[in-house]
Structure 1
């Protein structure tokens, strides 16, 4: 070292600090990469992504290589800085060299490169992978030896290097990814993707047409009455039953009526012969499961039944698809906004038969959905009695006024969400 000039030592020290910065930035860049984007780029045959992917197959070796290089460089830099300090200031120069080198390494070889790599991991990791791949080949025996020792120590601690965390996302994490996609996905596309993820949380009971609203034709009625009902039907598939909906016999497709009419064979007897079998769905079936069942069974509608086999309602394939893409223009079922009418005073008049889930979804309210499905059912469960009109209650923080009760059902409810919001703001201030 005595034969090397001080200026040359400063140059070597600067080069070592740059190399240290390279190793520090490479480590952060490699570990900050989005694993799912990396897999996508690998499938697109991106050369840099494929190199990084191969390096990350054994992260213990990659980290070992980077730390070996970084420590060698930093130790060499420390030795050279000590020599420079002693040449310039004597023995006290060792203290100054240690302090100054620590500051320089911290700023220029650690914080700055690592921050840059964390902000732009791909721009750092992909080019860096070329040098790291070459170094791994050159230092392979040394890297393997170091890994063998460290893995042995880990085994003594009960940890295996093969036990790596699997990079898989839960549905909740996927939902967060979709919601955080920002401008990469249109808002409507985000809503559709989230709705698909939500299918596993929603059951057929949440979207079915309830039994009280089922429309069908009694095949024991007079033929002229049946013809009139078929003519005025707004559905392409019509339920047929005997005397009551509990004795349902099947459904009739209006397309079959056209075929029979074209042959002048449309009679009550041919109508009954053309009845199609009904598909039954156990209550509690989630929509993602039912969608697959509809697909496998090649069915488009089914009756929801409880554990006793009693009919609870009807679900169609279109109902499930509407949960994903939104209401179709052809639907005859009133939307939640049709069942919620805003009043001049800021309150809302809500139909008691409106489903809580639809109300929450359309109005961004937060009524509990783990119990009754309708607003009428929610209030009855809360009161444990059939109330009289003009009774006020508060559920989930929302002040409710029962406006109309008829046939043992709450027909209309007034909701005051603005008052609820003022209470929430008041609580937050306190």
Structure 2
């Protein structure tokens, strides 16, 4: 009876703690024990009813046997029944409860799969009793407002999945880990979060001289440039430098030649989700667009590379916006987006307000702080290293001292 009790106790723990996602993987591989286990776990109320029915019967039977043996051997002792019950309780606790359940919790598959082969026919034999027990339990649970037919699906929300990926450091390189986290963030990220801000857009002003325009074209590190008149709000189109570089050395090259090569500009609401914009870029076969606000004013520029960088990060860019120093601190370009900073530093700075570190500092300070100013931004100590008349340029994050 003690061995049977250990089996029922251990198998209960193993079946209830087995990793459901590994179980599904083994089912796809056609593992026979996993298939039977999954079928049993589809109705955990029936499985628990069967296990507890068998376990209680075995425990009560063991107690009865111990009592009968004690009375037959030591009939003259008045307290022998109590002593026998105490000894049986200790023995059962050690050998039939704690030990098998501990082993089952550490290695659930070791007992779960063999147990499934036993419980499957046993459930068919004892089904009438189990059904009656489950019926009474269901009625009792409904009295307290619990419906056993609900919430049977086993699913993960986004935050739980992010936690699993974060904890899987030993199973994948950090760069792939960041990539997966970036994919999960696509749903909440908007074009505004990743766009190049208006003041950093590099373009060709048709009001400039043709000589200046040619110099800009030849020295530009970009493959496409916005072409506008006076203001970026008056964009004429986008110029692909591969098309124009063949013409700039011709004697008759002028501004009209540039206008003839322009492609129609694409305007994107800044609140557009990143994943939706990726689909739009794909369907319209374009790689660049201008983000506009509710009034139609240009707020920034977004490219397909920006969208891809949101997923794969540093795999497609050589730009280093956060550099670790020898003392453990970080020099961070203040133009870095809050989302990218969170990804690089593994922080949780708020992303609902300002989209860049500079914006976050200005909102916190309500002024442009002087170089050398030290503040604690959402619990992270930092020092302003460089600024200009309009914004913060470079920030040094000081690592927190660990308590001794």
Output the TM-score relative to the length of structure 1. 0.81
Could you tell me how far apart the structure 2 residues matched to 1:347 and 1:184 are?
A: 28
Aligned to 1:392: 373
1:196-275 alignment runs, 5 A limit: 196-257=183-244, 268-275=255-262
Give the Cα separation in 2 of the matches to 1:104 and 1:359: 57
- What are the equivalent positions in structure 2 for 1:24-423 lying under 5 Å apart? 24-90=9-75, 92=78, 93-257=80-244, 268-328=255-315, 334-337=319-322, 353-358=335-340, 361-362=343-344, 369-385=351-367, 389=370, 392=373, 394-396=375-377, 398=381, 400-401=383-384, 404-405=387-388, 408-410=389-391, 412=393, 415=396, 417=398, 421-422=400-401
Unaligned runs of 5+ in 2: none
Partner SS state of residue 73, structure 1:
helix
By how many angstroms is 1:109 displaced? Answer: 1.1
> Residues of 2 paired with 1:188 and 1:305: CA distance?
32
Distance 1:136 1:99 in 2: 33
Measured after TM superposition, the shift of residue 356 of structure 1 is 5.0
SS in 2 for 1:327: helix
CA contact (8 A) 1:336 1:358 kept: no
SS of alignment partner, residue 281 of structure 1? strand
Secondary structure of 1:308's aligned partner: coil
**Cα separation, partners in 2 of 1:173 and 1:224, compared to 1, 3 Å:** same
Contact 2:6 2:100 in 1 (8 A): yes
Matched, 1:23 2:8: yes
8 Å contact 2:384–2:392 — kept in the other structure? no
Report deviation, 1:350: 5.9
Higher relative contact order (CA 8 A, sep 6+): 2
Query: Take 1:192 and 1:51, find their aligned partners in 2: how far apart are those partners?
Result: 36
Structure 1 pair 167–329 and aligned structure 2 pair: CA distance change class (3 A): closer
Instruction: Work out whether residues 237 and 253 of structure 1, in 8 Å CA contact, stay in contact via their aligned partners in 2.
Output: yes
Superposed displacement of residue 48, structure 1: 0.9
Cα 1:39/1:357, change in 2 over 3 Å: closer
Q: 1:386 to 1:330 in 2, by over 3 A?
A: closer
Alpha-carbon distance between aligned partners in 2 of 1:354 and 1:106, rounded to the nearest angstrom: 59
Give the distance between the partners of 1:75 and 1:253, measured in 2 at CA.
84
Contact map agreement 1:42 1:50 (CA 8 A) in 2: yes
**Deviation sequence 1:299-348 (CA, Å, 0-9, x none):** 322211122111111111111222222235666xx5314xx696x99987
Higher Cα radius of gyration: 1
Cα shift readout 1:142-170 (whole Å, capped 9, x = no counterpart): 22222223223333433322123432111
Residue pair 2:204, 2:226 contacting (<8 A) in 1 also: yes
1:374 shift after superposition: 4.0
Give the alignment's Cα RMSD to 1 decimal.
Answer: 3.3
Distance 1:403 1:370, change over 3 A: same
Gap runs ≥5 in structure 1: 1-15
> Structure 1: how far apart are the matches of 2:375 and 2:46?
62
Cα deviation code 1:214-239 (max 9, x no counterpart): 11112354545444433332222221
| Distance change (3 Å), C-alpha of 1:325 and 1:138 | same
Deviation at 1:413, TM superposition (A): 5.4
Compared with structure 1, are the counterparts of its residues 109 and 235 closer, same or farther at alpha carbon in structure 2 (3 Å cutoff)?
Answer: same
